[in-house]
Amino acid sequence: MRALYKPAAAPGFELTERPEPTVGPDDVKIRVMTTGICGTDLHILKWDQWAADTIKAPLIAGHEFYGEVVEIGEDVRDVRVGDRVSGEGHVVCGTCRNCRAGRRQMCIRTESVGVQRDGAFAEFVVIPETNVWVHKDDTIAPSLGAIFDPLGNAVHTALSFPLVGEDVLITGAGPIGLMAIAVARHAGARKIAITDVSAPRLELARSVGADIAVDVSSMRIREAQAVLGMREGFDVGLEMSGHRTALPEMIDNMNHGGKIAMLGLPAESIDIDWAKVVTHMLTLKGIYGREMFETWYAMSAMLSSNAVMRQHVESIVTHTLPASEWAEGFRLAGDGQSGKIVLDWTA
């Protein structure tokens, strides 16, 4: 099969022929149709310190995907050949305390598809049946199916706290921040403000329904509050940039009792005003991955029941390229000026 392969612990990928993965008793083999390019994949391509510390090479990367089931193991019960599916990329142990309690997103031994085991930048991928998400709605297009993993990050983060009637601040209008706008709107937010430093991403944010899209290189969030007619501060913050300056400014703009869900992964340590966290009684919550599988139910239900939200989420995929043009796809994903980039493995 064709696969985007990292042969050794060094920068780069090569698009080459690899043996097809084999199916164990509990596994499902999927013919990959589309894959999303994620920030994680950019780290794996570049082979930075995080990649060197985390990845087992040789490796086929890729964890955001959609495709068709072509083979099932003998003990697979609910997934059928021909099903159209996406995949949960966190393979959990099943026996740690959290797994046994049903909190699988908190597994202490999570192994990630396309990071610690072969992933989906290939014509076929194999994952356990428990990680397969079967699309019951057959109108989910392959490009939308490819981004269920990051949409799940947006949904998990945005639904961490009740949003009905709340003023929401999202920092970072990358693909996940953009998706969070659509989710927060569906969930009943009043005003939605989003920040970034990329003009095209701020424009995308306006088109998917943000009330104000703030370029924090030239405008303060405090001024945005005034534009929106807000007087007391945001009720809920969704940190989706990982940038060092985003969380401190968010904390300065929260109402007392405000709640912050943090998805963005900082590359360095961040200094925040802890006295303000204490005296303003703020809640800070870290978010990792997707809830298994309540997040998946929620996102499928929202996309199927709300055509506007679905159209907004679909519009966040700004480029779909044939897999042979993977290098251009990675270039676009890395320059921070577009929405989500999807590779088509059927082309």
Ligand X SMILES: NC(=O)c1ccc[n+]([C@@H]2O[C@H](COP(=O)([O-])OP(=O)(O)OC[C@H]3O[C@@H](n4cnc5c(N)ncnc54)[C@H](O)[C@@H]3O)[C@@H](O)[C@H]2O)c1
Q: Which does 37 bind (CB under 5 to 8 A by kind): Zn ion, ligand X, none?
A: none
> Whose Cβ is closer to ligand X: residue 134's or residue 197's?
197
254, amino acid identity: M
| Catalytic status, residue 43 | yes
Least distance in Å: CB of 172 to ligand X? Answer: 3
Q: Which does 86 bind (CB under 5 to 8 A by kind): ligand X, Zn ion, none?
A: none
> Whose Cβ is closer to ligand X: residue 4's or residue 214's?
214
- Among the listed residues 43, 90, 186, 243, the single catalytic one is 43
Least distance in Å: CB of 114 to Zn ion? Answer: 8
User: Quick one: three-class SS letters along the chain?
Assistant: CEEEEECCCCCCCEEEECCCCCCCCCEEEEEEEEEECCHHHHHHHHCCHHHHHHCCCCEECCCEEEEEEEEECCCCCCCCCCCEEEECCEECCCCCHHHHCCCHHHCCCCEEECCCECCCCECEEEEEHHHEEECCCCCCCHHHHCCHHHHHHHHHHHCCCCCCCCCEEEECCCHHHHHHHHHHHHCCCCCEEEEECCHHHHHHHHHCCCCEEEECCCCCHHHHHHHCCCCCCEEEEEECCCCCCHHHHHHHCEEEEEEEEECCCCCCCCCCCHHHHHHCCCEEEECCCCCCCHHHHHHHHHHHHCHHHHHHHHHCEEEEEEHHHHHHHHHHHHCCCCCEEEEECCC
CA–CA gap between residue 299 and residue 154 (Å, rounded): 9
Q: Near Zn ion by CB under 5 A, which window of 59-67, 255-263, 281-289, 319-327?
A: 59-67
Q: Which does 253 bind (CB under 5 to 8 A by kind): ligand X, Zn ion, none?
A: none
Least distance in Å: CB of 199 to ligand X? Answer: 10
Q: Which does 332 bind (CB under 5 to 8 A by kind): Zn ion, ligand X, none?
A: none
CA–CA gap between residue 157 and residue 167 (Å, rounded): 15
> Whose Cβ is closer to Zn ion: residue 113's or residue 205's?
113
> Whose Cβ is closer to Zn ion: residue 146's or residue 181's?
146
147 makes contact with Zn ion (CB under 5 A): no
Backbone angles phi, psi at 289, to 5 degrees: 65, -145
- Among the listed residues 40, 110, 171, 195, the single catalytic one is 40
Q: Which does 107 bind (CB under 5 to 8 A by kind): Zn ion, ligand X, none?
A: Zn ion
Least distance in Å: CB of 108 to Zn ion? Answer: 6
> Whose Cβ is closer to ligand X: residue 219's or residue 277's?
219
260 makes contact with Zn ion (CB under 5 A): no
115 makes contact with Zn ion (CB under 5 A): no
| Catalytic status, residue 40 | yes
> Whose Cβ is closer to ligand X: residue 139's or residue 218's?
218
The footprint of ligand X (CB under 6 A) covers 39, 153, 171-177, 195-198, 201, 216, 240-243, 245-246, 263-265, 287-289, 336
Given the rule CB under 5 A, which residues bind Zn ion? 38, 64, 92-93, 96, 99, 107
Residues serving a catalytic function are 40, 43
